[in-house]
Protein backbone atom coordinates (compact mmCIF):
# COMPACT_ATOMS: atom_id res chain seq x y z
CA UNK A 1 0.00 0.00 0.00
CA UNK A 2 1.53 3.25 -1.14
CA UNK A 3 -0.64 5.88 0.60
CA UNK A 4 -0.56 6.81 4.28
CA UNK A 5 -2.99 9.31 5.78
CA UNK A 6 -2.28 11.23 8.97
CA UNK A 7 -5.65 12.32 10.25
CA UNK A 8 -8.26 12.22 12.98
CA UNK A 9 -11.70 10.69 12.27
CA UNK A 10 -13.54 13.52 14.05
CA UNK A 11 -11.84 16.38 12.16
CA UNK A 12 -13.87 18.08 9.44
CA UNK A 13 -10.95 18.68 7.06
CA UNK A 14 -9.86 15.06 7.50
CA UNK A 15 -13.37 13.80 6.77
CA UNK A 16 -13.27 15.75 3.51
CA UNK A 17 -10.28 13.64 2.42
CA UNK A 18 -11.78 10.42 3.82
CA UNK A 19 -14.88 10.99 1.68
CA UNK A 20 -12.65 11.39 -1.40
CA UNK A 21 -10.75 8.17 -0.55
CA UNK A 22 -13.94 6.20 0.20
CA UNK A 23 -15.63 7.42 -3.01
CA UNK A 24 -13.02 5.57 -5.03
CA UNK A 25 -12.21 2.74 -2.60
CA UNK A 26 -8.64 4.03 -2.58
CA UNK A 27 -6.58 1.91 -0.17
CA UNK A 28 -4.48 3.74 2.43
CA UNK A 29 -2.71 3.11 5.69
CA UNK A 30 -4.35 5.05 8.53
CA UNK A 31 -2.31 7.00 11.08
CA UNK A 32 -4.72 8.46 13.62
CA UNK A 33 -3.09 11.56 15.15
CA UNK A 34 -3.72 12.07 18.85
CA UNK A 35 -3.04 15.75 19.51
CA UNK A 36 -3.05 15.02 23.25
CA UNK A 37 -0.09 12.69 22.81
CA UNK A 38 3.32 14.31 22.43
CA UNK A 39 4.79 11.50 20.36
CA UNK A 40 1.84 11.40 17.98
CA UNK A 41 2.04 15.19 17.52
CA UNK A 42 5.80 14.94 16.93
CA UNK A 43 5.27 12.25 14.26
CA UNK A 44 2.90 14.58 12.41
CA UNK A 45 5.25 17.55 12.73
CA UNK A 46 8.11 15.47 11.37
CA UNK A 47 6.34 15.28 8.02
CA UNK A 48 4.47 18.65 8.21
CA UNK A 49 5.94 21.09 10.75
CA UNK A 50 2.76 23.21 10.63
CA UNK A 51 1.19 20.39 12.67
CA UNK A 52 -2.27 20.49 11.09
CA UNK A 53 -3.97 17.51 9.53
CA UNK A 54 -4.86 15.82 7.17
CA UNK A 55 -1.49 15.03 5.60
CA UNK A 56 -0.98 12.39 2.92
CA UNK A 57 2.27 10.50 2.34
CA UNK A 58 2.74 8.73 -0.95
CA UNK A 59 5.60 6.28 -0.63
CA UNK A 60 5.48 5.38 -4.34
CA UNK A 61 6.33 8.96 -5.36
CA UNK A 62 8.10 9.93 -2.12
CA UNK A 63 5.74 12.88 -1.69
CA UNK A 64 4.22 14.54 1.36
CA UNK A 65 0.96 16.32 0.58
CA UNK A 66 -0.72 18.58 3.15
CA UNK A 67 -3.92 20.66 2.75
CA UNK A 68 -7.19 18.81 2.15
CA UNK A 69 -7.89 20.40 -1.25
CA UNK A 70 -4.42 19.64 -2.56
CA UNK A 71 -4.72 16.06 -1.28
CA UNK A 72 -7.98 15.57 -3.18
CA UNK A 73 -6.42 17.11 -6.31
CA UNK A 74 -3.45 14.76 -5.90
CA UNK A 75 -5.72 11.74 -5.51
CA UNK A 76 -7.60 12.73 -8.66
CA UNK A 77 -4.36 13.07 -10.63
CA UNK A 78 -2.48 10.02 -9.32
CA UNK A 79 -5.18 7.64 -8.04
CA UNK A 80 -8.33 8.33 -10.10
CA UNK A 81 -11.40 6.18 -9.71
CA UNK A 82 -15.09 5.94 -10.56
CA UNK A 83 -15.88 9.33 -8.97
CA UNK A 84 -14.12 12.13 -10.83
CA UNK A 85 -13.35 14.43 -7.94
CA UNK A 86 -12.19 17.36 -10.09
CA UNK A 87 -13.85 17.50 -13.53
CA UNK A 88 -11.55 17.12 -16.49
CA UNK A 89 -13.39 19.94 -18.28
CA UNK A 90 -11.46 23.09 -17.35
CA UNK A 91 -14.53 25.28 -17.11
CA UNK A 92 -16.22 22.86 -14.69
CA UNK A 93 -12.92 22.38 -12.84
CA UNK A 94 -12.60 26.03 -11.75
CA UNK A 95 -16.25 26.09 -10.72
CA UNK A 96 -15.63 22.99 -8.60
CA UNK A 97 -12.57 24.60 -7.01
CA UNK A 98 -14.56 27.75 -6.29
CA UNK A 99 -17.20 25.76 -4.42
CA UNK A 100 -14.53 23.77 -2.58
CA UNK A 101 -12.93 27.06 -1.44
CA UNK A 102 -16.36 28.41 -0.49
CA UNK A 103 -17.17 25.47 1.79
CA UNK A 104 -13.69 25.50 3.37
CA UNK A 105 -13.32 29.25 3.88
CA UNK A 106 -16.88 30.41 4.44
CA UNK A 107 -18.43 27.42 6.20
CA UNK A 108 -15.69 25.26 7.78
CA UNK A 109 -13.53 28.13 9.04
CA UNK A 110 -16.34 30.08 10.80
CA UNK A 111 -17.75 26.78 12.12
CA UNK A 112 -14.32 25.99 13.61
CA UNK A 113 -14.18 29.45 15.15
CA UNK A 114 -17.44 28.82 17.04
CA UNK A 115 -16.39 25.32 18.13
CA UNK A 116 -12.81 26.10 19.17
CA UNK A 117 -13.91 29.18 21.11
CA UNK A 118 -15.84 26.81 23.41
CA UNK A 119 -12.54 25.06 24.18
CA UNK A 120 -10.81 28.25 25.33
CA UNK A 121 -10.27 28.83 29.03
CA UNK A 122 -12.94 30.96 30.71
CA UNK A 123 -12.06 34.64 30.48
CA UNK A 124 -10.18 34.15 27.19
CA UNK A 125 -13.17 33.64 24.94
CA UNK A 126 -13.83 35.83 21.91
CA UNK A 127 -17.57 36.61 21.99
CA UNK A 128 -17.25 39.26 19.25
CA UNK A 129 -15.37 36.90 16.92
CA UNK A 130 -17.93 34.14 17.55
CA UNK A 131 -20.83 36.46 16.66
CA UNK A 132 -19.00 37.48 13.48
CA UNK A 133 -18.48 33.80 12.60
CA UNK A 134 -22.17 33.03 13.14
CA UNK A 135 -23.14 35.93 10.87
CA UNK A 136 -20.73 34.59 8.22
CA UNK A 137 -22.37 31.18 8.50
CA UNK A 138 -25.87 32.64 8.01
CA UNK A 139 -24.67 34.55 4.92
CA UNK A 140 -23.13 31.35 3.56
CA UNK A 141 -26.37 29.43 4.25
CA UNK A 142 -28.36 32.05 2.27
CA UNK A 143 -25.99 31.58 -0.68
CA UNK A 144 -26.08 27.76 -0.46
CA UNK A 145 -29.87 27.78 -0.28
CA UNK A 146 -29.97 29.76 -3.54
CA UNK A 147 -27.23 27.72 -5.19
CA UNK A 148 -28.91 24.39 -4.40
CA UNK A 149 -32.28 25.40 -5.83
CA UNK A 150 -31.97 23.08 -8.83
CA UNK A 151 -28.95 20.98 -7.95
CA UNK A 152 -28.47 17.53 -6.42
CA UNK A 153 -24.77 18.02 -5.66
CA UNK A 154 -22.67 21.17 -5.53
CA UNK A 155 -21.76 20.67 -9.21
CA UNK A 156 -25.26 19.51 -10.14
CA UNK A 157 -25.44 15.81 -11.10
CA UNK A 158 -21.79 14.93 -10.46
CA UNK A 159 -20.42 14.31 -6.97
CA UNK A 160 -17.06 16.13 -6.77
CA UNK A 161 -14.42 17.57 -4.45
CA UNK A 162 -16.86 20.41 -3.69
CA UNK A 163 -19.22 17.87 -2.07
CA UNK A 164 -16.31 16.29 -0.17
CA UNK A 165 -15.72 19.76 1.33
CA UNK A 166 -19.40 20.54 1.84
CA UNK A 167 -20.28 17.32 3.69
CA UNK A 168 -18.33 17.76 6.96
CA UNK A 169 -18.53 21.57 6.77
CA UNK A 170 -22.35 21.57 6.68
CA UNK A 171 -22.66 18.65 9.09
CA UNK A 172 -20.76 20.44 11.87
CA UNK A 173 -22.00 23.94 10.97
CA UNK A 174 -25.61 22.76 11.36
CA UNK A 175 -24.74 21.70 14.92
CA UNK A 176 -23.54 25.19 15.89
CA UNK A 177 -25.97 27.29 13.80
CA UNK A 178 -28.91 25.03 12.80
CA UNK A 179 -30.35 25.59 9.32
CA UNK A 180 -33.96 25.92 10.49
CA UNK A 181 -36.87 26.56 8.13
CA UNK A 182 -35.17 29.49 6.41
CA UNK A 183 -32.58 27.21 4.81
CA UNK A 184 -34.58 24.17 3.75
CA UNK A 185 -32.59 23.53 0.57
CA UNK A 186 -29.28 23.61 2.44
CA UNK A 187 -30.81 21.19 4.96
CA UNK A 188 -31.99 18.87 2.15
CA UNK A 189 -28.51 18.97 0.58
CA UNK A 190 -26.99 17.98 3.93
CA UNK A 191 -29.43 15.05 4.16
CA UNK A 192 -28.30 13.84 0.72
CA UNK A 193 -24.67 14.15 1.82
CA UNK A 194 -25.33 12.21 5.03
CA UNK A 195 -26.96 9.43 2.95
CA UNK A 196 -24.00 9.22 0.59
CA UNK A 197 -22.17 5.97 1.56
CA UNK A 198 -18.71 7.61 1.62
CA UNK A 199 -19.78 10.31 4.11
CA UNK A 200 -22.06 7.94 6.06
CA UNK A 201 -18.96 5.81 6.66
CA UNK A 202 -16.91 8.82 7.80
CA UNK A 203 -19.68 9.84 10.23
CA UNK A 204 -19.89 6.31 11.56
CA UNK A 205 -16.14 6.11 12.14
CA UNK A 206 -16.21 9.46 13.98
CA UNK A 207 -18.92 8.30 16.42
CA UNK A 208 -16.54 6.95 19.10
CA UNK A 209 -15.05 10.46 19.34
CA UNK A 210 -18.24 12.51 19.57
CA UNK A 211 -17.52 13.50 23.18
CA UNK A 212 -14.74 15.67 21.74
CA UNK A 213 -17.43 18.05 20.43
CA UNK A 214 -17.78 20.81 23.05
CA UNK A 215 -21.35 21.46 24.19
N1 LIG B 1 -6.37 24.30 5.42
C2 LIG B 1 -6.19 23.04 6.11
C3 LIG B 1 -6.88 23.12 7.45
C4 LIG B 1 -6.57 21.92 8.32
C5 LIG B 1 -7.09 22.08 9.74
O6 LIG B 1 -7.51 23.18 10.19
N7 LIG B 1 -7.06 20.97 10.48
C8 LIG B 1 -7.45 20.99 11.87
C9 LIG B 1 -8.41 19.84 12.15
S10 LIG B 1 -9.95 20.01 11.31
C11 LIG B 1 -6.24 20.79 12.74
O12 LIG B 1 -5.23 20.27 12.30
N13 LIG B 1 -6.33 21.20 14.00
C14 LIG B 1 -5.30 20.97 14.94
C15 LIG B 1 -4.50 22.19 15.26
O16 LIG B 1 -4.78 23.27 14.71
O17 LIG B 1 -3.60 22.06 16.12
C18 LIG B 1 -6.74 21.90 5.24
O19 LIG B 1 -7.59 22.15 4.38
O20 LIG B 1 -6.27 20.77 5.37
* 133-142: pLDDT as tens digits: 999 999 999 9
Q: What region does 25 belong to: left with phi over 0, alpha with psi -120 to 50, or beta? A: left
Which pLDDT belongs to residue 172? Answer: 98
Containing 15, the helix (H) or strand (E) segment is: helix 12-23
Q: Tell me if 100 CB under 6 Å of ligand 1.
A: no
Spatial neighbors of 165 by CB under 8 A, at least 6 apart, are 16, 68, 69, 99, 100, 103, 104, 108
Which pLDDT belongs to residue 121? Answer: 94
DSSP code for 212: G
Q: Tell me if 15 CB under 6 Å of ligand 1.
A: no
Residue nearest to atom 1 of ligand 1 (CA): 67
Which pLDDT belongs to residue 215? Answer: 81
Ligand 1 atom at minimum distance from 69 CA: 19
Q: Are 165 and 153 in contact, with CB atoms under 8 Å apart?
A: no
Q: Tell me if 67 CB under 6 Å of ligand 1.
A: yes
Question: Residues 100, 103, 108, 109: is their CA dihedral positive or negative?
Answer: positive
Residue ranges for the chain with pLDDT beneath 70: none
Which pLDDT belongs to residue 1? Answer: 77
The pTM of the full predicted model, rounded to 2 decimals, is 0.97
Amino acid sequence: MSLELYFHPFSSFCQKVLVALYENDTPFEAHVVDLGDERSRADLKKIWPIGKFPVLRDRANDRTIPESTIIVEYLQQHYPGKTTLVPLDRELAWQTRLRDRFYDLHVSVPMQKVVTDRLRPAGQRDAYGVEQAKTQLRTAYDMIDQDMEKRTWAMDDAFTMADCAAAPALYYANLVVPFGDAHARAAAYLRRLVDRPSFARAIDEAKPYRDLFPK
